[in-house]
Structure 1
């Protein structure tokens, strides 16, 4: 089968430009490829699927017409390879790229991640940190390429199992291995390997969170577990931002990840504590940090490159903020400020062509409009609809996870507004974190 250049989908010069843009902008986000091992001529010679994937995902942000043609070609290549039982490291990497920056309406992320897991296991990558495996390699850079790909597969598996609330396929966390991995031949690691290790070292915090939210867990013990998770987050944050040399893109992404994690942990702590003032203040501070970090990433023109499923968690933060909104409380202005900043960040000029992100901005706009309406009623002496009215029908609302925006807001939207929400929600309110969308 011919590659996109042979097929005339784009010129060699265009492919060169897209490869340069990929390594400048996209690779520091997905943390996957070593540019020394994966330059244009080398990839073109070794793997048509990987070549097509790199060109397609990069063109998505530069040349939509080229991207569409490349994605169509990639679907054919991947389908043939999967059904033929083919498996190699480049095919796995192509799959990961196609999953991370999937096309609008693509709902196959969960299935494709499972295929990537099986392919990687078939190549023995689940043993890639064992002495028996590493002894077979005389090329350290080649070994790092295999290990990096496996760690990315682990992260994808955990991310999508978290988003879809389904069991993960890979049980081991690899957070201990990832720290030792950074010390192996440090001079030939790519800069974003630190971010990959950081991602894996946040896994124990997720475990604390799941343990705290078990149905048989008492509120008191849950609060203790959540405090341990929050303390661990603080120590991890200090370690990675001080002791490790995170590259600029990774610092933006890590800041978002930490603030989101703090918000999730503190939201559950707030619920388990019976809405204590101190727990409320801690959650609102974390949510405000989310708004700050999302805004910074948007200003740096990085937000539209971010893993789209991560937007689900940001939307959940917005809903939690609105649940706490009460015009009779002094912190209502703080909440409104956070919602405003999140709305504005997703309205950033460089997000105009990204359907899922502009949809989220419109969703935050609905929350802002509703909150401002309540404040206006108070100013004019009209008894506002308390936020507790919204909360009463949704006291079981949990985060993070996939949010049915239109059903949550239905209690106080008109029929026309309900249709608006369906149209403005990623993938039309689908139960998949895809939309145009770890």
Structure 2
């Protein structure tokens, strides 16, 4: 086991990792920018190191500063959390070159799955169903038009090195395709330094369903069920739940076993998530995230498995916590991402939290690093915290979530709490009858009213 882990992140995920380390008896090092000097993970860690000024590029993305922090404190492993350097293959390689353990997958797997075109090819080779589309990058010429016609309009133009909805455009007709290709390529170049784009069939009303996997790097891998992440705004997840309201035991086992088998063949190590679009009973691979997900607590609540703890334990050479037939799905869980944003315009709302009261009670969990008097800085993401609830059934879970949302208080800044209080009372949400475009259509209707 590791002696000391440096947590190369901030906010709620840094605190989440710190808690897992403490339960394993591992010393912790918190790093922080000058803007995060009063952060909760800094206060609770065994040691802390300031690694630079507020901009991420000068602090949380500053690899030399992180290496120096490891050397100063004697840390022997680094946990990257999510975001920042968590899917940076070069960072993993640099740590290895300095005899430091990267708590995550092999660099080759990060690099492979970070390239959306290669990831799709790999998924196809491993027997994972994929969305019909181009076999590789396309250019704004007749080749792209021919592929689009073969797939059938509408088509989706996507950045090969992209994510988070950037470099992604829909072409509904042949006349739309040229502009979509050019715009997506320009966005991709600006955001990722790579203008490569590819084509996929655009599904009309799919669900976004992801399978959580855990591998030991030696050919052992299991799946831990699915999460339904279909409630999104601008391709960003807002509400996640598991199990999905639209999957049954047989379909869950089929896609889960397919993914687990693929990860066994890949000899994947650590946690990972295979993301799909699901429509008319069919799964279509989107991408793989080679890190812990923001929404991982949903899986923890329904399986009883501490994913971050297992991530650390496996990185240190441990075995999988159980076999596939020992994995059980118990009850239902929902997570709401409470952001410091205006609930209508979604304009960021940094500032000081004047009053803070997290909800409690059976089956209620808050993953947050804020406290009363904490100032949410304007430099990073606007996540205040994640409200996660669990119930014996989806009905019980929804009622518990409604109660917890009404109980939660975050004053002094604007938050998205009012949005969730409305959503949990919407008939379509109660019935589980929604898709990836539902929330944006709902929000457009609210503005029109």
Sort the TM-score into its range (normalised by shorter chain).
Answer: under 0.3
TM-score by length of 1: 0.28
Write 1 or 2 for the structure with the bigger share of strand: 2
Write 1 or 2 for the structure with the bigger share of helix: 1
Larger radius of gyration: 1
TM-score by length of 2: 0.27
